[in-house]
Amino acid sequence: MIGTIRLKKCFALLLCVSLCLCGLTACTPRGTLTVNGTQIGKGIVRYFTDVVRQEQPEADEAALTAAVHQKVAAYVAVNSAFAERGLSLTTGQKSEISQDVNAKWRLFGAYYTELGVSKQDLLNIETSQGYKDAVMTDYYAADGNEPIAEETLRNYFSENYIAFQSVTGFLTTADNNGNSVPLSDSEKQRLVTIFENAAAAVNAGGTIAEQAAKLENVTSNTETVVLARDNTQYPQEFFTQVTAMENGTAKAFVTGDYIFLVQRENLTDESRNLFSAYRLNCLKTLKGEDFEKVLAAWAENYTVE
């Protein structure tokens, strides 16, 4: 099993639950809309209205309405393109979307209900995001509208991602008041020595899991983690250090208040095909902005009333 740090769409909308619901005024487009003759339910409209309110809190009603119309038009454009291209989602993709919606609804169902957004509305919106990913993949496929070479994506992956297993130790402790304080120099050196010995044991044929079981007050990833260069869950120095390592080797190093024991893995091992799980992420990084412009052009062909 591959442990991953996924580069999926952010939960910015969900993290803004504290916004006052009464911020949606009577002038805000909250009812149904019609797009090229097809009615879009009020739950979908209210969802996008809330998104725009958070993205543009200072927008007047005219600007708000225009932005909501654009998002609804893009929503319809994506769904239409998905159908017109004869695309489909896999069972696994559908399951992932369903799990995502269930998780969001457990946490924020009351918020959505107050907005007038049903769980089915949320499922429709998340499914449309899946459609968008599928359409983008098709658009840039080898036989698509603007093909992007597979080698380009693979090269980007190999240059901007790393694969590893690790153990993380902490160079701080808590004082009597519960405040975080640095370890003494002698305690730090003792911990560094322990981690360096652990790295030597891994390089001699041991495993990260074996060493993690022996160490105290640590967190560990004993299954493969794939990390993007711009991921903020680790210090940037972590990526730099691991990139400099040889595949299959282990090393202990200090970064900030942490000490790491890391074994680098071969990211491009064809037998493991790690690239397949991150291909879409690479495509989005390289072509995401361009595709948003394509989608905006498609949306202009839809009339919202």
Q: What is the DSSP string of 198-233?
A: HHHHHHTT--HHHHHHH-SS-EEEEEEEEEETT-SS
For position 30, what pLDDT does the model report? 61
For position 31, what pLDDT does the model report? 84
Range of lowest pLDDT (5-9, 85-89, 202-206, 212-216): 5-9
**Number of independent structural domains in the chain:** 2
Are 89 and 128 spatial neighbours (Cβ–Cβ below 8 Å)?
Answer: no
Are 73 and 127 spatial neighbours (Cβ–Cβ below 8 Å)?
Answer: no
Q: 30 and 135: one domain?
A: yes
For position 175, what pLDDT does the model report? 86
At residue 225 the predicted structure's pLDDT band, cuts being 50, 70 and 90, is very high
Q: 42 and 106: one domain?
A: yes
Residue 46 lies in a domain: yes
Q: 134 and 207: one domain?
A: no
Residue 146 lies in a domain: no
Say which CATH number the domain at 162 has: 3.10.50
Q: 126 and 173: one domain?
A: no
Termini Cα distance of the chain: 49
- Domain containing 65: what range? 24-139+280-299
| Residue 16 predicted with pLDDT over 60 | no
CB count within 10 Å of CB 79 equals 18
Tens of pLDDT, residues 71-110? 999 999 999 999 999 999 999 999 999 999 999 999 999 9
Q: 30 and 59: one domain?
A: yes
Residue 13 lies in a domain: no
Provide the β-strand partners of residue 225. 3, 164
What percentage of the chain exceeds 70 in pLDDT? 90
Tens of pLDDT, residues 111-159? 999 999 999 999 999 999 999 999 999 999 999 999 999 999 999 999 9
The pTM for the full model equals 0.84
For position 23, what pLDDT does the model report? 41
The owner of tokens 């009339």 is 303
Residue 10 lies in a domain: no
Residue 96 lies in a domain: yes
Q: 227 and 287: one domain?
A: no
Residue 135 lies in a domain: yes
Q: Return the SS3 of 9.
A: coil
